[in-house]
Amino acid sequence: MPERLQKILSAHGAASRREAERLIQDGRVTVNGIKAELGQSAEFGIDEIAIDGKLLEPVDELVYIMLNKPRGYVTTVSDERGRKTVMELVSDVGARVYPVGRLDLNSEGLLLMTNDGQFANAVAHPSFNNTKIYEVRVRGDAETAVKRLCQPIMIDSHLVVASDARLIKHTADGGVLSISIVEGRNRQIRKMCNECGLYVQSLKRVSVGALKLGALGTGKWRHLTAAERSLLK
């Protein structure tokens, strides 16, 4: 049965749906040898679907991992500017996985990766209320900003709000905050802090839903347990 091309790419571990759309727009996806268009449908197993000339293969095993992303890596499958990507950190997983959501270049912490498109979409969708918690070191009046962060703030023409914000400790020039959000717009935490007069010095995601980063070392990854996967879905 024909399905949207980006859904097929996601379901077969090639990319998240958002990343799949980008691959199609960049002209890197073909169907039966013809460059694909966004919104196009195809049928896996009947049509020949390829990315950069390599045929899309069926997923042999579904894989779910968490990575403790370091700073200095972009959260994409590839980068046109030649920057390091998180794919370099999971080359020994034994399967092609892709990121669920994003952490920007200078952010670190818990990043989920999988080749299960349905799982990725479920975890990322706001309706599942998988709250993400970040520890953020800031410069500025952190105590006053905590109250403002829990009120609606206009970011990129959208009203956003932290579901919780607390001051963990004072520092010489600011403090360390715990900020919780449900949605995850581009650089949302940084932009919210900026609107509250704060400069973000470091940002680390420490949990997604009930899943916590724990003692996982920087740059290291591990498989999720079945119980952890259930908690997220």
Residue type for 16, please? S
- Rounded to whole angstroms, the Cα distance separating 188 from 19 reads 19
Please provide the CATH number assigned to the domain covering 64-127+214-232: 3.30.70.580
Residue 11 pLDDT: 78
Across the chain, where does the E strand assignment appear?
Answer: 3-4, 29-31, 34-35, 41-42, 49-51, 54-55, 64-69, 98-100, 108-114, 132-139, 153-155, 158-160, 164-170, 174-181, 199-208, 211-212, 221-223
Residue 159 pLDDT: 93
- The pLDDT tens digits for 94-151 are 888 989 888 999 999 999 999 888 888 888 776 677 899 999 999 999 999 999 999 9
Residue 19 has pLDDT above 90, yes or no: no
Compute how many other C-beta atoms are within 10 angstroms of the C-beta atom of residue 200. 22
- Rounded to whole angstroms, the Cα distance separating 145 from 127 reads 27
Reading the block at residue 44, the tokens are 């896996």
Q: What is the mean pLDDT of the chain?
A: 91
**Binning pLDDT at 50, 70 and 90, where does residue 12 land?**
confident
- The domains of the chain are located at 3-55, 64-127+214-232, 131-208
**104 is annotated as an active-site residue:** yes
**CATH architecture classification, 131-208:** 2-Layer Sandwich (3.30)
Query: Identical fold at 64-127+214-232 and 131-208?
Result: yes
Please provide the CATH number assigned to the domain covering 3-55: 3.10.290.10
Which burial class, exposed, middle or buried, applies to 227 when counting CB atoms under 10 A from its CB (0-12, 13-18, 19+)?
A: exposed
**Binning pLDDT at 50, 70 and 90, where does residue 40 land?**
very high
Q: Per the residue annotation, which of 92, 104, 164, 173 is the catalytic one?
A: 104
